[in-house]
Chains A and B, each alone.
Chain A
Amino acid sequence: GQNIDQPTEMTATEGAIVQINCTYQTSGFNGLFWYQQHAGEAPTFLSYNVLDGLEEKGRFSSFLSRSKGYSYLLLKELQMKDSASYLCAGLDSNYQLIWGAGTKLIIKP
């Protein structure tokens, strides 16, 4: 079966660094997406990885290891506005996105 696992909730302090992990099992693999979703709002695209390694975009970075079926999203210099849910999604062999349930990130001052 296809499955995406990520922690339900994490807490971090403003100004700190947090890493959100995601493990995936998909039928075939065509890449992994990270989205941010603020409460009551639409998901918005953060990053896409299809090759192993780290992709950096400002304060946000995403890492992929295809051999381990593992990805993480790294958020640096946390700000209160980063309080949101972070959704991991794998693109399977049919180019369908398989979504995790999301990790709710709580930022404390």
Chain B
Amino acid sequence: NAGVTQTPKFRVLKTGQSMTLLCAQDMNHEYMYWYRQDPGMGLRLIHYSVGEGTTAKGEVPDGYNVSRLKKQNFLLGLESAAPSQTSVYFCASSLTAGTHSEPQHFGDGTRLSIL
């Protein structure tokens, strides 16, 4: 089972460039999430989706956009990259987020550097 797959694994961008990070899951999960992880800080939620065609803002959404056109895919876009967006980006998915909380399953991360 592939689980959650993120592409690319590494990327270096120049300030002002744009790019899209792709997340794909094969577990038929409804919920998908994009986080960033910075040294000395907890994972911070950027955007999330509770189902195909839906998206919502998380804690740190500014500078990012997302789309969930297909249930298995969740795309994260940076329209004009800034050095402050240098981070490790994790995608995660879960079956539900209800009272019988299912754990989130994470991809291997994308290491993004903005010069």
Contact = CB atoms under 8 A, between A and B. Distances in A.
A and B from one assembly?
Answer: yes
Interface of A: 4, 8, 30-31, 33, 41-45, 48, 50, 87, 89, 91, 95-102
Given A45-B103, A96-B45, 6 more contacts: A4-B42, A42-B109, A43-B90, A100-B42, A101-B42, A102-B42
A97 B45 contact: yes
Contact of B101 (A31, A41, A42): A31
9 contacts: A31-B101, A42-B107, A44-B106, A45-B105, A89-B42, A95-B97, A95-B101, A100-B42, A101-B42
Contacts of A45: 103-105
Interface of B: 4, 40-45, 48, 58, 90, 97-99, 101, 103-109
B40 A97 contact: no
A50 B101 CA distance: 9
Nearest to A99: B42
B99 A43 contact: no
Contacts of A91: 97, 101
B7 to A, nearest CB: 14
A48 B44 contact: no
A101 B97 contact: no
A98 B42 CA distance: 8
